[in-house]
Copies of this chain bind each other. A is one copy, B any other.
């Protein structure tokens, strides 16, 4: 523990330097993992938790899950599961025995150890939007397929904002790069533009192995050093209902065998790929997640695994997915209760259905972010930049979300609710009496620079001041900031030899043809 603290302090310096380099555009809060000091909201009684758990176990025991992965089928047969074709049924004793091997908390250490994150306990972490095929910004004013440049700019935001703790998948899919080599170019960009924790898509052997190799190179590690602890992670979705695909399971197996972290996130939209009732959608999600985690724990006992939730509901009029709804919030809270029941770190998301960064986008996103807080979520995917149910990435939305994320970070500071005599401030109240003002007194002067959250995007001027400053609405203000941040961005330090080695690796793998594109 002393060692970790020491590292964090040293690292804090490095992270602090990185922040200062781009720190001219805005004043932001320091890099810090958030400790969620609020008790979780738990809508389920113990009997309710047991009912969902029992349903999940019955799904695994009586219906079974389809594993479209021969290796997994062989392993699970060996483990004593009942395998018929691709259908695997597993007893609850086996599932619970395996899940109990998973750590309740683990760290992931990227190339800059100051950016190490802890997944578990009361720690709360935010990551950038991941995987939208499309991009929208105020200047374009329309939805377009993603490009490498847009992806790189969003990676710069990922690095720039201290409230973003880890890098998710591609913040927008750069479809101008051929799919066979896309992972090579984007990982090169990711590893050089950010020093935060990296993600690999589980989309086939070559991609996963390439990304692990690039993360190893970027960290200047030997294979042994890389495998000694988690330095990166993957996140997989099941193909709901009740199915795991070949490449997803393959990628996870490759990662866990090399000591890296995996997160399993079923996507159970109630009324579409899951029951219309939220308890059913959660139970199905739990079953889909636990069977994969059980597999990984059998293969590598104690390997770092997180359980994800992506349970929401559809619009029953159109079938369109909805996000940040009351049902989404409760499903996230329920999943939090189950995650604690199983002792697994949890992932949820910052999401909305809105198409542009307007009021709807922010009430839906606020709902989902507060649900993350309320559920005890450890890892918040898509916490900045998501629009249109994940089909659009937007830099304005990214920056707007960061303002909300910083407020959550500040909200979790115990200092706000401290009640020492200095805080209850009888003497200050006595000194001002019934006709003075607190602005000028010493008690205020001693604290005014740090007493309150300072926004970087919110405009707190009165209407006339706001009008005099151009009457700029929030997304336009965010757009201006986006331009300034990109213009002044400086990438984090990287040893030139390492950069060259990364570039050479990319060249070689491109020359070899990259990865198959049949996924």
Contact = CB atoms under 8 A, between A and B. Distances in A.
Interface residues of A, number: 128
B475 A359 contact: yes
B423 A241 contact: no
Interface string A334-368: 10000000000000000001111111111111110
A57 to B, nearest CB: 10
A275 B440 CA distance: 11
Nearest to A374: B38
Given A363-B366, A444-B271, A452 B325 contact: yes
A500 interface: no
A475 B358 contact: yes
Interface string A416-438: 11111111111011101111111
A274 interface: yes
Contacts of A95: none
Nearest to A239: B434
Interface stretch (A16-24, A48-56, A504-512): A48-56
A327 B418 CA distance: 12
A426 B59 contact: yes
A58 interface: yes
Given A55-B425, A63-B433, A458-B354, A276 B438 contact: yes
Contact of A453 (B66, B326, B458): B326
Copies of this protein, total: 2
A460 B326 CA distance: 15
A327 B439 contact: no
Interface stretch (A7-15, A185-193, A386-394): A386-394
B66 A434 contact: yes
A363 B474 CA distance: 11
Nearest to A428: B275
Interface string A256-298: 0000000000000011111111111001100000000000000
A425 B356 CA distance: 36
**Which of A316, A421, A447, A452 is most buried by chain B, counting CB atoms within 10 A of its CB?**
A452
Given A271-B444, A279-B424, 11 more contacts: A39-B41, A63-B433, A143-B463, A243-B435, A280-B425, A316-B452, A326-B413, A358-B473, A360-B458, A362-B362, A391-B463
